[in-house]
Homo-oligomer: A and B are copies of this chain.
Amino acid sequence: MPASPIRKLTPYADKAKKDGKKVFHLNIGQPDIETPEIMLDAIKNIDFKVWAYTPSEGIASYREKLAEYYNDLGYNITPENIIITNGGSEGFTIAIQACLDPGDEIIVPEPFYANYNGFACMSDAVIIPVLSNIDDGFALPPISEFEKLITPKTKAFFICNPNNPTGYLYSREELEAIKELCLKYDLYLFADEAYRDFCYDGNKFVSPMHLEGIHEHVIVIDTLSKRYSACGARLGFLITKNQKVLSTAIKFAQTRLSAGMVAQIAGQAAIDTPKSYFDKVINEYSERRKILVEALNKMDGVYCPNPGGAFYVVARFPIDDAEVFCQWILEKFEHNNQTVMMAPASGFYSTPGAGKNEIRLAYVINKNDLKTAVICLEKALQEYPGRVTMKETVSIEL
């Protein structure tokens, strides 16, 4: 597996900090939002004497409560449809191992969450990307684009909704189109719903679990990480109504024995997180998105679609190479002794050269810092030696 362009920047960020610069982190999906108190209290109040294995599929009472939670979202599942995993990451690896053989292909709209490459690589599955376009706001490309990539090796379709890295929120119509494709070619539909709770402007989240007639195909991967700002819990879920997939997945789950006990205790408590917590969080993210998207689009030569969900944007910049720019801004630039760390979008594309002048920015820092960070960014764009005109930008894209 190649090192990601984000990780390549880490030494430069470390050096900048060592040199006394303040670095604003817009590069990763680690929210600054506080974990709900009810969850932290559950950790502090543990009362067991033996920190024991839990059942491989997860603690029974937690799975029951989770089923109720998902049924409130309209998923219509039973506790038996849920396997509790060590993070959404493990949910993915188990799902791929349960559904795919080595050499099988997974079609994914790109840009996509870079670790999908790693999950696929672990099972010797192959990611086949379909390019979505910033000028369309990263909407689902025409289904004909997917259809022409289908081979006898194609086994699954991946979507992340709302999307990481683009923030794009898929519409019911788009999901229906994907559904038809999955039914026509008998494909699994893996749905990464890590950002389900983060939808803005009154947009309603739709899951493949809400669609009729596709239940045997759908595997939802979920996680506590973003919902409760509990990335360090390493707790996720594999949800499917497909009994054959479940019975194979549980064997892989048994091999690694169980998910963490304390994380499950905290996760079970978290289900009772008051609605006020989420209202506050969504409002906060929504305001940050507004600040970031407006500021970016005001910058000369920058274009940023206004995404419907998650806490990321992918923007196009008037620069020669985002990897070079993101290193330069850490290494050579400062404004009031401050700078910004961002994720070159190339790491989210597998088509060579795609996203070369695009950057993912995560709005996971407070509003004041975010405002300062975008001022830094604007100044940097003015000073950057590799700045190009918009015309050049478009030619780079082609």
Q: Which of A278-312 contact B (CB under 8 A)?
A: none
When the two chains form their complex, are residues A254 and B118 in contact, meaning their CB atoms are under 8 A apart? yes
> What sequence of 0s and 1s flags, for each residue 44-56 of chain A, a beta carbon within 8 Å of any chain B beta carbon?
1110111111100
* A7 on the B face (CB < 8 A): yes
When the two chains form their complex, are residues B49 and A35 in contact, meaning their CB atoms are under 8 A apart? yes
Chain A: interface secondary structure? loop
User: Inside 8 A of A35's CB, which chain B residues have their CB?
Assistant: 48-51
Inter-chain CA distance A123–B122, complex, in Å, is: 7
The stretch of A137-145, A177-185, A260-268, A322-330 in contact with B is A260-268
Q: Which of B33, B51, B93, B266 contacts A231 (CB 8 A)?
A: B51
Q: Chain A interface residue count: which class?
A: 35 or more
Inter-chain CA distance A34–B52, complex, in Å, is: 10
Inter-chain CA distance A125–B85, complex, in Å, is: 23
When the two chains form their complex, are residues B234 and A259 in contact, meaning their CB atoms are under 8 A apart? yes
> What sequence of 0s and 1s flags, for each residue 11-45 of chain A, a beta carbon within 8 Å of any chain B beta carbon?
00000000000000000101111110001100111
The 4 closest A-B pairs by CB, nearest first: A118-B255, A232-B261, A89-B256, A51-B230
Interface residues of A (CB under 8 A from B): 1, 3-4, 7, 28, 30-35, 39-40, 43-46, 48-54, 86-87, 89-90, 93, 97, 102, 115, 118-119, 121-124, 228-234, 248, 251-252, 254-263, 266
